[in-house]
Every structure is written in structure tokens, then in C-alpha cells.
Structure 1
């Protein structure tokens, strides 16, 4: 993988760059739609390509390991062929999902023993096995196995966890050298900065991760319930340490406002379930604020869902019709809202890129944050 830093914003630390993988180009800043189980919920791959048009999507190692399983994916020729997606895919390591199974897992130095949320069967993830699983999935960018700590988190626990994540990283790197690529394309490897919301731990972790010299770097553990101002503080500390000539990926974040503020701090890549999950609950993100389409106020509003939207659903359907679909519990309503929200997120990061290139990002970001922080 190659990363080219093309432009910097004069009023902030925002950057516009370009990642080149064996599969193609990823322009940054970028938002990656989450395709947890080889599917971005409610969206056909054709709609994903032609309407939302992301350069890269995210797959989930934990879920794909359980279903459909590694045997099926290998027989299919990897995740790309299995799901009919010919662009870039990034897979997380499963560390966050293991964290979320707090009642059904045991973490030790060797790895994590956990019970499947599907059938209760027992499984074990180690740094080595997770690297092998991600080789079999065949994503273009793969993540190191880490422990994601909760918020709030005791300092001593966060410190022990961070050091274990660093030891696990060393094991990931050592094992990757022994496991060849599959399916005819290479994979890029990103380690993950941890340290909860403690400044000294984040600095120490960022320095260690930077010293590894990986092709890109990620920031984990900042989408687990911490206040936004603490997230921004940790992001800034870490971005100031991670190398400038490598892409920076903030995992699991977040709202449109979170994304703009973190772009301003020097983050390049994002993913989050929020646009799809909130869509299924009737929340639409727009440049002028959020809409709860279930509200009665939209019952006889026959204007387009979003005149500024970039997808066909934004002007093809009215707010009144979309509200009706939610009231009638028609799944089409969730699909329309999902396509809209993902289209908006991609519009947001691509417009941010344009503003960075034009030297206008900071002023535009300040205006957008005020506009979007409204309930319509």
C-alpha cells in the first residue's frame, strides 16, 4: 500500500490524501460503510457502488468467523467474491466485539476465550489465529488484535491492557510473516493505539505503534461512551505523534459532527454503524440537522427527503411517504433511510476533502457544525 499526502488545511490539521492498494484508490478523508456480515444492512451492492459510491467498506472478523465461517469464505475465493464487491475492504480484528461480550468472554495473555452470541459455542481468539482468519477473509486492510477497554476504565487496568495490546501486536507481526497472502492480492496491516482516556497512556501507546513502522495506524477505544471532548483530546494527542506520512484511522466514530472535528485534528479514515442503525430507527442526517421521520410533523410534508442529497432516494421520495413507510412498518422505509444516511456521510467526507484542497476547510467545518447540530 502507498499513501500520498496531497494537501493540508491552513486553518487546522486536516489532510487530503490518497491510499493505493492492489485493488485500487482510496481518497481520504473517507468514511467506510459497515458491512458486518458481508452485507451493508438493507443495501444492495449495486446501490452501494452506484449511489453511495465508497472506495472502501468494512467487514467484521468476529461475525464472519462465526458466519458463514472460514471454510465457506475460502471456497468462495475470499470475502470480495463471496459478497460480490470488487472495491477495497477493511476488516477489524474482532477486539471490539470481544469487548462487547463482557459477560461471555475471558481475557488472558494467550488470547480471548468467548462464547458465540449465536449458539453459545466456545471459541478462542489469539493474535495468531486472528491474523490467519483475516488472511482467509482476504480484506485489503487488516487490523491487529487488541483489547478495547470500557469507559470509564481504571488507570491500572487501562495500563495493563495497553501493554498486553502491544505484546499482542508483536505476536501479530511475527505470525503474519509466516502466513502467506491468499487470492492473489496483498494485505496492508494497521496496529491500534489504546490507552483509554489517559493522556500519558495514549502518548506511550502512540509512540509504540509509530515505532512499528506499519503501513497505516488506527486509534481504538474512543467509541465506548466517553464524552466528545475527551475523544477529541485523545485524538489530537495521538495524531500529533503518529507519523504524518501514514494514514490514520479512528475506529467506530461517529456522528457527522464527530467526523468533521476529528478530520480537523488529522484523522483520515472513519467507520461507524450510526448512519445505518439510526436510519432503521427513522433518524436522517442532513446538512441542516437531523430529522426524526417518525414525527407527525412530516405526515403531510410532500417535499423531497433531501433536495441536497446525492442518492436517488433523496429526490424520488417525499418525507410524507417515508414517514408513512415507517408508520406501516414497511422495510422499504428502512432501506430508503439507510441509503440516504450513507449517501450523506460520503457527501460529508468528500466535501471536506474538496474544502481541504481549496484551503477552505476550517471555515466550512465551523459553519457545518453549527448547521448540523439541530433537530429539524
Structure 2
């Protein structure tokens, strides 16, 4: 991986990540393709709207159809017909969300499948084996996601375990023979430590000592108040290595993204645009719209007159409302095309603002729109 910083507007920055499967302009948003598909979208449609990288899920693909199957069929890229970069998370967050179905040990996590209740054990080495088998371009180190709230002692124990597992992940990848797999991923370490700044700093320092291709802040957007999340973002971002990509995991609210970019984060992922699309909530340049509202029943205008996506170029709000209320599959597709286009276009414009030195004005403009009451 080669990461080149292009421009700065105070702490906000643009850059370029170069991988064997393509370039990624930062700040970047990664559409979430949990099970080897971004819901309702084809790979060609993702490329058309400007997606440069997607995220897939180690936990889910391990359980179904199985990483061995995907490896036998040529890897995840061939399996899903996507030839650009893929980042795979390690499965730590998904296992964290199982709560009562998991048991954490020093060596890994024992858990029961949410699909059939079968018993499994995921270790740092296993998480790496799965991601390498999938053919991931960027793999995430296996971590324990610290819950909110968490007592200091628990957060300390959690980050210590995460650091130990991160070292095991690095050692596993380093031990692989070049011929063992056709493609070896870049590896990102994950900073934990809950809402405790001294623990976040220690976690980061430990990871930097091990050495990773990029660094991610995990354990945020897990139920904490916005003020606490912003406090950690503002604290940890400037401490992260300047010459490595900085990834804020699972944060997709656009206001949160503006705060994070303002402080120097580069990479983001979230199900927010796709999940909201399927539920009829659409992002526009005038605020969020709930397409199910009665006032759109005979509205002949496009969803967003300032948007150039396929949906806005071809369909009215009345038609989108009709599709949604009729529970038509096309509703999910058109809504998702729009929301993802909106997000990726938002990031394009944000990069332009940083490059032109107008990020503050960009943030002020969008903050007013995003904090206003949703339209409809």
C-alpha cells in the first residue's frame, strides 16, 4: 500500500491510497457489502456512482457460504464480480453484538452462530486466515469492541487483549509464505479504550510499536452521547500517524463525518445510506425526506433537483412514494442508488473543499442543512 497526502485545510486532509486493485481518494466512504453484496446494488452500478472500495464482513462470510468455498471459487472479488479494493472487517464487532451468545477468552472468542446456533471459535489467527482466503485488500486486526458504558478496569483489560490479538494478527500474516495465497492484504490495527483518553492513547502507542499499514478507531458510535464521541475523535485523530490512513469505523452520520474529517480522519463506512433507503428515508441537498409522506402523493418533482443520480434524473417523488408503499423491489433499488450517490458525491465535494481551502465554509453550510428538521 502507498498512501500519499495531497492537501490540507488545517487538520482536514485529502490523500490517495494506492493498492494493487485500484486507487482510493480520501476522505472516502466505503459502501457496506456485508455478505458479498451491497444490498440492492450491482457492482457495475457501484462503479457508475463512483465507489472506489467496499467493505465486506468476515463473520458473515465465514458462516455463509464459508471462506473455503469463496477461496475455491477464486476469492471474494471473483465471487461477487468486483475488481476494485475490498476492506474486510475482522468480525470483532459482529461477535460483540452477539452479547449473550459469546464467551471471550485470552485466545479468542467462542460464539454461537446467529443462523443455526452452531458453536464456533474465532481467534486472531483464524480471523486473518479467513480474510486472506477471501482475498481482502485491506484486513482488520481482530479486536474486542469495548462496550458503552464500560468501567475503566474493563476498558483497560479489553484494550490489552486487543493489543495482544493485534500482535498475533501481524505475526500470522508475516509468517505466511508468498506462495501460500495469491494475495496478501494490508493490515490495519484497531484502537480501543472506551471513552478514556489515557487508554486510547496507550492503545494507539502499543499498535504503532507493532506497526500497521493503517490505523482505525473502533468502539465509537456504540451508544455513547455525541459529545463524548466527538471528544474522543478530536483527541485521538491528531495522535495517529500522519503518514498512514486513519479509519473511523462504523460512523456514517454526515454530521459526525464532518467532525471527523475536520480532525483528520480519512476513511468511513456505515450501513446508514443503504438501510435508510430501504426504509424510505432519503438524503437530499435540502435535508432528509421520508418518501412515505402524503404530501408527495402527486409530487411530480425529482427527489433532489440538485442531484444527478439515475433516480433523480428519471423519477418523481410521487413514483418513489408509490413504489415504497406498494413494497416493490424497485423501491429499494432506486432509493439505494440515490442515497449512495448522495454520500459519494458529498465526499467528492468535501475533498474539493479541502483542496480549495474552503472546508470550514463547506462544514458550516452542511451543518445547517443536516441539523435542520428533516423534510417530510
Q: Same fold (TM over 0.5)?
A: yes
**Judging changes above 3 Å, is the alpha-carbon distance between structure 1 residues 259 and 180 closer, same or farther for their aligned structure 2 residues?**
farther
Q: Secondary structure at the match of 1:240?
A: helix
CA distance in structure 1 between the aligned counterparts of 2:190 and 2:81, rounded to whole angstroms: 29
2:204 aligned partner: 206
CA distance in structure 2 between the aligned counterparts of 1:310 and 1:118, rounded to whole angstroms: 40
1:224 aligned partner: 222
Residues 89-98 or 251-260, more deviating:
251-260
Q: Does structure 1 residue 3 correspond to structure 2 residue 3? A: yes
Q: Secondary structure at the match of 2:300?
A: coil
How far the C-alpha of 1:292 sits from its partner, in A, is 0.7
CA distance in structure 2 between the aligned counterparts of 1:185 and 1:126, rounded to whole angstroms: 21
**Matching of residues 72-151 of structure 1 within 5 Å:** 72-151=69-148
Q: Does structure 1 residue 175 correspond to structure 2 residue 172? A: yes
Query: Superposition RMSD on alpha carbons, in Å?
Result: 1.2
Cα deviation code 1:176-221 (max 9, x no counterpart): 1122466634411000000111111111112222223311111100
Cα deviation code 1:333-367 (max 9, x no counterpart): 11111111111110111111011111111111111
Q: Secondary structure at the match of 1:210?
A: helix
**Judging changes above 3 Å, is the alpha-carbon distance between structure 1 residues 68 and 180 closer, same or farther for their aligned structure 2 residues?**
farther
- Contact kept, 8 Å, 1:132 with 1:179, in 2: the verdict is no
How far the C-alpha of 1:150 sits from its partner, in A, is 1.4
- Contact kept, 8 Å, 2:32 with 2:38, in 1: the verdict is yes
Alignment partner of 1:157 out of 154, 161, 168:
154
1:238 aligned partner: 236
Alignment partner of 2:190 out of 169, 189, 192:
192
2:316 aligned partner: 318
**Matching of residues 246-265 of structure 1 within 5 Å:** 246-265=244-263
- Contact kept, 8 Å, 1:294 with 1:326, in 2: the verdict is yes
**Judging changes above 3 Å, is the alpha-carbon distance between structure 1 residues 327 and 283 closer, same or farther for their aligned structure 2 residues?**
same
- Contact kept, 8 Å, 1:7 with 1:357, in 2: the verdict is yes
- Contact kept, 8 Å, 2:249 with 2:269, in 1: the verdict is yes
**Judging changes above 3 Å, is the alpha-carbon distance between structure 1 residues 180 and 341 closer, same or farther for their aligned structure 2 residues?**
farther
- Contact kept, 8 Å, 1:22 with 1:186, in 2: the verdict is no
How far the C-alpha of 1:121 sits from its partner, in A, is 0.6
5+ residue gaps, structure 1, are: none
- Contact kept, 8 Å, 2:9 with 2:359, in 1: the verdict is yes
Alignment partner of 1:62 out of 59, 62, 82:
59
For these two proteins, the number of residue pairs brought into alignment is: 373
How far the C-alpha of 1:58 sits from its partner, in A, is 0.2
